[in-house]
Amino acid sequence: MTSGGNSLTAAVLLLIMMKVFSVLTLSCSSTMYQAQDLCCQKCPAGNRVKTDCTETAHTSCVACEGGTHMDKPSGLKQCTHCTICDLSFGLKENRTCTSTLDTVCKPEDGFYCVDVAAGSCMAAHKHRQCQPGEYISQTGTAFRDTECSDCSNGTFSDGTLKFCRPHRPCESLNLKLIRPGNATTDAQCEEQDQDNVVPIIIGCLLTILVIGIVIVIVIYVKRKTLCPKRDVL
């Protein structure tokens, strides 16, 4: 670079610094904002600045257009775009955007929030699915994931219930256990073998036969004892 170029650069820098310094020294109240070397009235919430104030004119404000908002008084020339609750992030609207308040998102059903900013959910994850052999020990909410716990011994679950069901007690149902249960599957029982049924049937028939014989004997004996008496009378 030439020395002429250097001095020109220095002069420009000095000018910029002077400008910055003069700007920095201008301090506006909280209801005002700075436009060039003037303090202008801020536009109210729900509005943006259309044109800055001048020596002779107030700030000109205009309402935020649809889909945008301004949540506090400002000197900004653009309203902020409303947040869109993104379904692909598991989000839906809990409060629609107005000109003064941004959208508030919440997790959609079956999701819970993993990232909250300014009271609005920014991202949500799907509730975990309990596995077979587990039960839902804590149902998931919009703020908390589902919790799963293992089934205790002697019970089973496919993972969709809030409890584990006890295995079918084959023995106490007088059934034959053909496959013991585990945490995911119920015990399997089967009707007792025919071998066991035949003696039972035979036993019943024998009982009926014995009762029949007893009845016959009783009737025979009664007749024998009653008839002579009738003869006497």
Ligand X SMILES: *[C@@H]1O[C@H](CO)[C@@H](O)[C@H](O)[C@H]1NC(C)=O
Q: By the criterion CB under 6 A, which residues form the site for ligand X?
A: 94, 106, 142, 152-153, 179, 182-185
Question: Which residue, 42 or 69, has its beta carbon nearer to ligand X?
Answer: 69
DSSP three-state, residue 207: helix
* Residue whose C-alpha is closest to residue 187's, from 161, 169, 165: 169
Amino acid (1-letter code) at residue 126: K
Contact status, residue 133 vs residue 184, Cβ threshold 8 Å = yes
For the bound state, the minimum distance from the C-beta of residue 179 to ligand X, rounded and expressed in Å, comes to 6
For the bound state, the minimum distance from the C-beta of residue 140 to ligand X, rounded and expressed in Å, comes to 12
Q: Can you spell out the DSSP letters for 75-132?
A: --SSPEEPP---GGGTEEEEE---SSS--EEEEPTTEEEEEEETTEEEEEEEPPPPPT
φ/ψ (deg, to 5) at 161: -110, 165
Distance CA 225, CA 233 (A): 13
Distance CA 178, CA 185 (A): 13
Contact status, residue 54 vs residue 37, Cβ threshold 8 Å = no
For the bound state, the minimum distance from the C-beta of residue 114 to ligand X, rounded and expressed in Å, comes to 13
Contact status, residue 35 vs residue 75, Cβ threshold 8 Å = yes
Both structure tokens of 207: 């009982």
Residue found under tokens 């013991």: 180
Residue found under tokens 């920095």: 24
